[in-house]
Structure 1
């Protein structure tokens, strides 16, 4: 009976694929990189349980192969609240790298044009688009707590089952590949745990820590950020033997904000350590940190203001052309609180106390503390690794302030226990998201991997990430 139900669902979704190809594709007429893309909206089970007939919509954008087709590759975005739009700015890059592959970019359940946790408040036609406007939070919360079983279906495992279903239905014949970045690496590995998809190779960009790694989980993000920030300062600290270090200078500046009201009044209201933490994510902003420290020491605020302007412009511009680029906060909170926060009991006060002496911070630990959204129970896949792993490339930055390189290595070693076909590549000085911030190194490494499926463990450089 289970096979009959699955076959019926597969048939319906296969038919939906062919009828969906003629549908209007959002933004394809006014955004050059989306021109020629094909949009697919299909039904999928809410829970993948026998007898449960509830369904959700899943949205996928397909970019046909530029040359003779030899297969397909699925690009899995991060998040968990990010939609496929977070990868659209890189489509031309991926198309050039994989010219013979159809490229599929799905919206995770709960993101983009796929079904949302709050169906009325998180859609493109709501007052603030897919973002939640101030007066939409109340109705959104009310809907979530009035539909707990629906919300609890937005799990990592169900999202992995979505991927399995989509890949098996729409990939077509010949070779199959998958790329995941950040949370997308966690989702891809959950997919491999299911063992329901045949893949020729896997590419994992900025591998997240193991779920049971209590040193590098999300509640410890500020500690990770601080360690990476201090490592960067050590690399760029070209001082005379008796001079005060950059770390000591930054510590003095942050302490001064607590006692010098005139100095503090000239600074942004945002926690200075959080601002410095944000600088680490964007290499050209990160490289200005020594100048910013020097400026603040002499009451020159212009380098800091310039950095803030650059950060703001980056996040405002990246993905701004796409209606579906807004992250889903409800989905992020539900998954994070359920599976990726190993210290859910921490209060915001305790988070502040733990990070009070840090020079570089992340806002994330405070945001995820005292979660007020529904959670679901962890299943048998939590903290586990796949038993069978196809040829896999893992590529991580040595200055990744989101996934500490030590956490990525620890995860790689656990995966390698079940496979001898995993290559681990360090990109010197790279932050999170190698495809975006180290495109030259990414292209070279991935091209070699795709040709050989095994390139060994090594450290590579990207000219754009050189530190003086």
Structure 2
């Protein structure tokens, strides 16, 4: 009996010590580390960056309460490039925050180097793996496309080492505590939907995560923002600090603004993914992405009329947009035609919803989705008029060229880079559906109606395919 009581006492003390340490963040670092994490981003002998992890509470006060069974802390990975011009202890600090949600910070390393060089080493540059991603505590179901590391390096180089540059793996991603379904094995390559997750896997994965962490508000945007604010306050030089976010990173930056850290004197939002303060009808919900994306696609197509080389191939009334509409109608009417058959070979790269009209994607749907992929890529969107022109003409040479093009684009989409290892798809879904989705949740019929009504937009995304995860 005494032995049992001693075991209980020791366990209680260990948990109390863990809780104390979690509430009082501890830094393990700094250590010299390579500028680039992955070889496909570039390798060198340079170890001018520094890396560290720090212990953060699983739950901050007012956000969630750590259950007795859960580990009371998560690990957060941080990387920095210190100013080489002047004194790093008094230099400006620049933070680079990754998008996603769910991506680790390794993609920002290039920007860190450029910024550091541009500032001539006069500022400290930081980045961080959001909790649940990358090298921080990784959010994964164990129980049941913005490279920032490159940006970090590029920025440090561009600023000529005049600032300290930091980045961080958002909790749940990368080298921070990673959000993953390890116990349920839901996102392994051998699971039913590979690295993705099928609806049938969700209940077990969700139960596994709840059993491990309790309230998943511990991986919320506010928890991640508090990680950044806490780190800035406790572990940087207290000097002028600027925080930059890209894509989802702008959502994180906005939450940091709400926390109002005294050290931060400037914010930069690049590729804004938030619209707080707007009306519900105008709010940037991911569940309305089909409609929003279609409007952007329409605007892009309209620019053809202002470009002499483009408009020369699309004479009024057969503008680029009108020509594309005719191609889509032709595909729907003749799905076995030569060019429709070419488009049917395009790999859309995700599981189409069973039991809906999307369960058997048509050539026109594949074309719209492929053009949407091209539109999102600055280097590839210029091919959209060329693809539409060849699809409209569709002669022997066009079929050959289009076949090669579709094959190449499919290969680009299917080729995994090393940084994907730091991405937590579960954190992506958790934040999207918890904080960036309409409430109450739109029904499947509403989502399909938006998609069908959105046929007037000839380029679009297929947000409706995400609904089975909500």
TM-score range, shorter chain: 0.5 to 0.7
> Which of 60, 77, 97 pairs up with 1:48?
60
2:80 and 2:125 in contact (8 A); partners too: yes
Larger Rg: 2
- Shift of the 112–297 alpha-carbon distance from structure 1 to 2, 3 Å rule, reads same
Q: Give the drift of 1:113.
A: 1.3
The residue number in structure 2 matching 1:218 is: 286
Q: Give the drift of 1:160.
A: 0.8
Larger % of strand: which? 2
- How do 1:231-242 residues align onto structure 2 when only pairs under 5 Å count? 231-237=299-305, 238-239=311-312, 242=316
Q: How many residues align?
A: 361
TM-score for both structures, normalised by structure 1: 0.67
2:79 and 2:126 in contact (8 A); partners too: yes
- Shift of the 181–370 alpha-carbon distance from structure 1 to 2, 3 Å rule, reads same
CA distance in 2, matches of 1:345, 1:301: 43
Worse-superposed segment, 192-201 or 341-350: 341-350
Task: Give CA-to-partner distance per residue, 1:119-144, whole Å, 9 cap, x none.
Answer: 648689x89x9964242854644412
1:71 and 1:171 in contact (8 A); partners too: no
> Which of 428, 433, 438 pairs up with 1:332?
428
Q: Give the drift of 1:278.
A: 1.3
- Shift of the 205–130 alpha-carbon distance from structure 1 to 2, 3 Å rule, reads farther
> Which of 323, 326, 331 pairs up with 1:257?
331
- How do 1:348-387 residues align onto structure 2 when only pairs under 5 Å count? 348-356=444-452, 357=455, 358-363=457-462, 365-372=463-470
The residue number in structure 1 matching 2:103 is: 82
The residue number in structure 1 matching 2:225 is: 160
The residue number in structure 2 matching 1:450 is: none
CA distance in 2, matches of 1:242, 1:11: 67
CA distance in 2, matches of 1:29, 1:255: 45
CA distance in 2, matches of 1:10, 1:65: 30
Q: Give the drift of 1:149.
A: 2.1
CA distance in 1, matches of 2:186, 2:123: 31
What residue ranges of structure 2 are gaps of 5+ in the alignment?
1-17, 144-177, 306-310, 349-364
- Shift of the 233–134 alpha-carbon distance from structure 1 to 2, 3 Å rule, reads same
The residue number in structure 1 matching 2:441 is: 345
CA distance in 1, matches of 2:45, 2:104: 15
> Which of 221, 224, 239 pairs up with 1:174?
239
- Shift of the 65–307 alpha-carbon distance from structure 1 to 2, 3 Å rule, reads farther
Q: CA RMSD in A?
A: 3.6
TM-score for both structures, normalised by structure 2: 0.67
1:337 and 1:368 in contact (8 A); partners too: no
The residue number in structure 1 matching 2:343 is: 267
Q: Give the drift of 1:83.
A: 1.1
- Shift of the 23–302 alpha-carbon distance from structure 1 to 2, 3 Å rule, reads same
